[in-house]
Amino acid sequence: MLPADMTTDTTQHIAHSAFLVHKLKSYYELLKFRLSFLVAFSSGFGYILGSQGNINWATFTAFCLGGLLVSGGSITINQIIEKDYDKVMKRTMNRPLPTQRVSRSEAAVYAAVLLLIGFSLILIYANLLTLLISIVSMLLYCFVYTPLKRVGPIAVFVGAIPGALPPFLGWVAATGHITYEAWIIFGIQFIWQFPHFWAIAWLADEDYKKAGFKLLPANGTKDMKTAINIMIYTLFLLPLGLLPAKFGVAGINSAIIATICGVLFLAQTFSLMRDNSRKSALKIMYGSFLYLPIVQIAYLVDKI
C-alpha cells in the first residue's frame, strides 16, 4: 500500500488535473469554435479570391487563425455582456458564464488575450487597413449589435455588417485595397444573414422574449409578414449570386451553382409562408447553413 501522504498527493493531483481539463473545456465553449471557424472560413474564402491564385499558405493560415481568435474574443465579450440574459434562456443557461464555471473577470482576460493575439496576427500577416476594419467589426458586434438586441430588429441590420465583413476582410488582406469585388462578396453574405438569422429568431422566439430580445422583423411576431420578409431577402440572393460572374470575380459555373442553391433556398421560404410552422423555419435555418459554404466553395473552385 502507498503511504497516506502519497495517496493524498495523488488524489490532489488527479483533482487538479480534472479541474484544469474542466476549465479548458469551459474556455473552449466560450470560443464557440464552430461559429469562429465559419468566420475564419469566410475570411479565407475572401483571401483566396483576392490572391488571384498567388497564395502564400503560411500567411493565409496565420491570417485565418487571427480571424478565428478575433471572432472568439468578440463572442466572449458578447457572452460577458449578456450573462444575466443567458441565465433565463433555455438555449444558453448552461454556458460557462451563467453556470459560473468561468467568472466575468476570467472571461474578460481570456477575451483580451484572444483579441490581442488575433489582431497581432492580422497586422503582421495582412496589413494595417485589414486590422482597422477588424477592430471596427469587433466594436460593432460587441458594443452596438449586442445592446441593440433588446431595442428592436434594427439589431439584425447592424449585426449583419460585422457578420458580412469576414470575406471583405480576406479580400483586403490579400490585395491591400477596398475594391468593388470586396463589396460584392460582402453584399452576398450581408443579405444572406437576414433569412439565416430570422429563421433562428423564429425558432428561439420564446427564449428570446424571456431575455427581452426583439429580433423578428415587421411586428415582431411569427406570422405571414415575417415570413414574407424572410422570402424577400432570400430572393435578393438570386441576382447577388450572379454578380461575381458578371464582374469577373468567378466564372459561369459558380453562377449556375449559386442560382440553383438560391432557388432551393427560396423554395423553403414558401413553405414558411404557407404554414408558419417551426418545421418550415428549421428547414430555412438548415438551408442557410448549406447555402453559404456551398456557394463560396463554388466561387473558389471556379476561380482556381
Secondary structure class of 221 (helix, strand, coil): coil
Query: 126 phi and psi, to 5 degrees?
Result: -120, -110
CATH superfamily assigned to domain 25-151+165-173 = UbiA prenyltransferase (1.10.357.140)
pTM of the complete model: 0.92
Contact call for residues 249 and 49 (beta carbons, < 8 A): yes
Among 246, 257, 254, which Cα is nearest to 301's? 254
How far apart CA 63 and CA 173 sit, in angstroms, is: 8
Stated length of the chain: 304
H helical segments located in 32-56: 33-51
Sequential pLDDT tens for the chain (304 residues): 546 565 666 666 676 677 788 899 999 999 999 999 999 999 999 999 999 878 989 999 999 999 999 999 999 999 999 999 999 999 999 999 999 999 999 999 999 999 999 999 999 999 999 999 999 999 999 999 999 999 999 999 999 999 999 999 999 999 999 999 999 999 999 999 999 999 999 999 999 999 999 999 978 899 999 999 999 999 999 999 999 999 999 999 999 999 999 999 999 999 999 999 999 999 999 999 999 999 999 999 987 7
How far apart CA 274 and CA 242 sit, in angstroms, is: 28
How far apart CA 176 and CA 170 sit, in angstroms, is: 10
How far apart CA 134 and CA 70 sit, in angstroms, is: 8
- Give, rounded to a whole angstrom, the gap between the first and last alpha carbons of the chain: 66
Report the alpha-carbon angle 129-135-138, nearest 5: 140
Contact call for residues 85 and 58 (beta carbons, < 8 A): no
Spans of all domains in the chain: 25-151+165-173, 179-304
Residue position matching grid coordinates 433556398: 265
